[in-house]
Structure 1
Amino acid sequence: MSRPTLPPQARLHRPSEFASALKGRRLARGALFVVTAAPPAPAEGEAPHARLGMVIAKRYAARATTRNALKRVVREAFRHQRARLPARDYVVRLHSKVAPGSLTALKQAARAEVDAHFERIAR
């Protein structure tokens, strides 16, 4: 059984890639995150696959530790679902202020929400 991985080819890197994915269709919205997606840009010699981009703004999560924890949680959730997701460029964007509280509780809430979003998209 192979482990799910997240190679560099599975991430969005350029601002133009983020811009086109953010102009795409909104697939899910929850208490913390909005997920938008667009068809992937054609790549030479590669089969299309799901790619991830994240926008975790400082104005919604002021502390760097909070932003990094949220990014880690989103990447991990995407890594586990990537094989089941349709070949699109996905952007997960934090759209509301993070409530003060423990980082553990925030990570659990974020993981539950992102897992639910990706489950719904994979169907």
Structure 2
Amino acid sequence: MNIGQAAKQSGLSAKMIRYYEDIGLIDAAKRTDAGYRIYTEQDVKTLNFIRHARELGFSAEQMKGLISLWKNTDRSSAEVKQLALKHIDDLNQKIKTLQEMVNTLEQSVSCCAGNESPDCSILEHIEKGH
């Protein structure tokens, strides 16, 4: 199948598929004599795997590790679990950081009069780094 068909079946854009090939997440596609990329059903399965991993917030580097583990039938599930647990820790840290940002902004917003005056506590807090 061509890249457009692979894109449709995987839910990824052709541009993303080319990008994933460029960074080594997927193997370079075979080409026709005219130079068009050709994808197999297994390539589409890999693209779907990548899309799902991306939806879970895995980075490109993490996805490389996941794909390697996914393709390696001799691996132990403990290796996969370790990678997933590390990702959970990373996500929890991001959640904590985002919640701190929300709290800071809520505090700034609560101090803002929100009227016609040019004085703005939100901008002052941002300027001062609070």
TM normalised by structure 1 equals: 0.28
Higher relative contact order (Cα pairs below 8 Å, separated by 6+ residues): 1
TM normalised by structure 2 equals: 0.27
Structure with greater proportional strand content: 1
Q: Which has the larger radius of gyration?
A: 2
